[in-house]
């Protein structure tokens, strides 16, 4: 994060220099000069959702006529810009209605309109499904061919090998290695990223027995909502069930309904035999549901508050009498969570905004576990985190399974799903397949994408 701030001119380096096309970087105070050289498309969009695409493209620099914004000229120039860079979205469309993939392309087009030809992409695939990632990579390659250079920040090793020509690894604020991608085997890249000669350790679900001999902790029966219909499944105590599918499959809608975050219009959700009403988070918490939501920044964290505040938010009533929070008790509970989940922080009072993405996600997980839930709903639990944090979070999932919790892992990440006893696949709002532990990557991906695949060919 600090390096990106330096590369975009938001922070001055303590030492060294930056050059663009061989020329020294402009002074930090000259924002216009920086925009002409570099831009960053952040993981969390800077697009203003209530403005149109055209307004976002030319915000604070709209064409005017006699001091008044010329809307005709604005839309004309926006269309020219979008067509030039082959971004196929309507210029008069509300930006908040764009898919994540399209919003990213609009941000890239905006950066290019300033003259920048060096674009930083910060975890651009974190919220995309397989088809969207493929389309994004096609556009990146087209822009590369047109002379645009990209710095692609990612924790996904396969993406690095697919789209990048060179790779640099930073770990613990130090430069570890820089090399052509073709010269760096995956095991060496993992070693550089983690400091260990090891692959990602995920609990082997194929070796488990007896999970479905236990009681049903979560029962979903004929559940229907805006983007899903007639969905039924059960999760037993001590079982990990995956729910996968494309972004538009309806899996997030089902997960949010089970967690009390979202509505449903028909069917029934039962937690340990007790019915959960639609869109009722307090009821879900009271029934024993813990949740890691899809977006840690929008739904999971209050970034202006401390690690302790965020981690204990669901158990405030236990931290003091008559609605008052005892600071020492809160700090003690937070310290226990920090130790249990291995959260790297200066202490419980550090602002959560100052943590790495992996440690922020651990704080969200800590809050989900604070109420000692019997059912866990984990949406994209390792999205946008480094290899070590991913392994730590998956280890927590395995620990919770051994403690007898029923766990629903809602994800498109292969590593997340490897820890599941079985994986349910959704397409077009319905469950279309179920895969027992031991499935191959190709089989699962083909199932998600609706492709016939013969494993024995």
Residue 199: the pLDDT is 55
Mean of the pLDDT values across residues 150-175?
88
Lowest mean pLDDT among 225-234, 353-362, 379-388, 390-399: 379-388
The Cα-based distances of 176 to 153, 155, 190, 225, 383 in angstroms read 15, 15, 12, 48, 23
Residue 209: the pLDDT is 65
> Which helix (H) or strand (E) is 433 found in, with range?
strand 430-436
Tokens, residue 283:
């009821």
Residue 279: the pLDDT is 95
Residue 40: the pLDDT is 94
Residue 196: the pLDDT is 59
What is the pLDDT confidence band of residue 200, given thresholds at 50, 70 and 90?
A: low
Task: Work out the widest C-alpha separation in the chain, in whole angstroms.
Answer: 76
Going by C-alpha positions, the residue among 146, 103, 104, 133 that lies closest to residue 121 is 104
Mean of the pLDDT values across residues 334-341?
95
Lowest mean pLDDT among 16-20, 87-91, 210-214: 210-214
The Cα-based distances of 207 to 204, 214, 420 in angstroms read 6, 17, 11
Going by C-alpha positions, the residue among 169, 174, 196 that lies closest to residue 184 is 169
Percent of the chain residues topping a pLDDT of 70: 96
> Exposed/middle/buried for 304, CB within 10 Å: 0-12, 13-18, 19+?
exposed
Mean of the pLDDT values across residues 239-261?
94
Mean of the pLDDT values across residues 224-252?
94
- Residues 6 or more apart whose Cβ sits within 8 Å of residue 115: 35, 36, 37
Residues in the chain: 457
Higher pLDDT, 123 or 208: 123
Mean of the pLDDT values across residues 235-243?
97
Higher pLDDT, 230 or 451: 230
Mean of the pLDDT values across residues 312-330?
87
Cα dihedral sign for 143, 145, 149, 150?
positive
Residue 169 has pLDDT above 80, yes or no: yes
Tell me the CATH class for 2-164. alpha beta
Architecture of domain 205-449 in this structure: 3-Layer(aba) Sandwich (3.40)
What is the pLDDT confidence band of residue 202, given thresholds at 50, 70 and 90?
A: low
- Residues 6 or more apart whose Cβ sits within 8 Å of residue 120: 4, 7, 8, 38, 39, 40, 41, 150, 151, 153
DSSP secondary structure, 70-121, as one string: -HHHHHHHHHHHHHHTT--S-TTSBGGGS-HHHHHHHHHHHHHHTT--EEEE
Q: Where are the domains of the chain?
A: 2-164, 205-449
Segment 100-103 long-range contacts (CB within 8 Å, at least 24 positions apart):
100/45, 100/127, 100/128, 100/132, 100/247, 101/128, 101/132, 101/135, 101/136, 103/45, 103/47
296 secondary structure, DSSP code: I
pLDDT digits (tens, 9 = 90+) for 25-71: 999 999 999 999 999 998 778 999 999 999 999 999 999 998 899 99
Percent of the chain residues topping a pLDDT of 90: 72
- The reply to whether 205-449 shares the fold of 2-164 is yes
Mean pLDDT of the chain: 91
What is the pLDDT confidence band of residue 454, given thresholds at 50, 70 and 90?
A: low
């Amino acid at each position: 994060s600090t390096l990106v701030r330096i590369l975009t001119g938001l922070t001055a380096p303590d030492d060294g220099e930056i050059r663009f096309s061989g020329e020294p970087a402009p002074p930090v105070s000259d924002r216009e000069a920086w925009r002409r050289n570099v831009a960053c498309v952040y993981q969390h969009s800077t697009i203003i959702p209530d403005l149109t695409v055209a307004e976002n493209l030319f915000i604070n620099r709209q064409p005017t006529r006699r001091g008044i914004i010329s809307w005709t000229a604005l839309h004309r120039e926006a269309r020219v810009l979008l067509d030039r860079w082959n971004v196929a979205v309507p210029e008069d469309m509300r930006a908040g209605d764009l898919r994540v993939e399209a919003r990213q392309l609009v941000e890239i087009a905006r950066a290019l309109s300033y003259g920048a030809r060096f674009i930083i992409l910060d975890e651009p695939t974190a919220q995309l499904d397989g088809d969207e990632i493929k389309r994004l990579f096609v556009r990146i390659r087209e822009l590369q061919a047109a002379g645009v250079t990209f710095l692609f920040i990612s924790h996904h090793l396969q993406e690095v090998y697919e789209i990048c020509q060179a790779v640099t690894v930073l770990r613990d604020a130090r430069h570890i290695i820089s090399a052509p991608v073709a010269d760096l085997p995956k095991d060496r890249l993992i070693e550089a990223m983690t400091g260990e000669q090891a692959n990602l350790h995920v609990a082997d679900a194929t070796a488990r027995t007896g999970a479905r001999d236990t009681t049903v902790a979560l029962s979903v029966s004929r559940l229907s909502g805006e983007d899903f219909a007639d969905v039924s499944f059960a999760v037993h105590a001590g079982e990990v069930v995956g729910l996968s599918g494309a972004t538009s499959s309806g899996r997030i809608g089902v997960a949010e309904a089970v967690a009390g975050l979202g509505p449903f219009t028909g069917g029934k959700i039962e937690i340990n035999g007790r019915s959960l009403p639609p869109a009722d988070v307090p009821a879900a918490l009271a029934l024993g549901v813990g949740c890691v939501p899809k977006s840690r920044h929008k739904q999971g964290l209050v970034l202006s508050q401390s690690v302790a505040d965020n981690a204990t938010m669901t158990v405030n009533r236990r931290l003091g009498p008559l609605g008052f929070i005892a600071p020492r008790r809160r700090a003690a509970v937070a310290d226990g969570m920090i130790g249990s989940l291995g959260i790297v922080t200066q202490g419980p009072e550090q602002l959560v905004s100052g943590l790495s993405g992996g440690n922020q996600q651990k704080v969200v997980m800590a809050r989900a576990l604070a109420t000692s839930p019997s059912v866990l709903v984990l949406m994209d639990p390792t999205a946008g985190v480094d290899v070590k944090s991913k392994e730590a979070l998956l280890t927590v999932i395995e620990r919770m399974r051994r403690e007898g919790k029923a766990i629903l892992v809602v994800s498109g990440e292969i590593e997340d799903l490897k820890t599941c006893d079985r994986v349910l696949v959704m397409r077009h709002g319905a469950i279309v397949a179920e895969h027992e532990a031991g499935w191959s990557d190709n089989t699962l991906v083909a199932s998600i994408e609706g492709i016939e695949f013969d494993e024995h060919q």
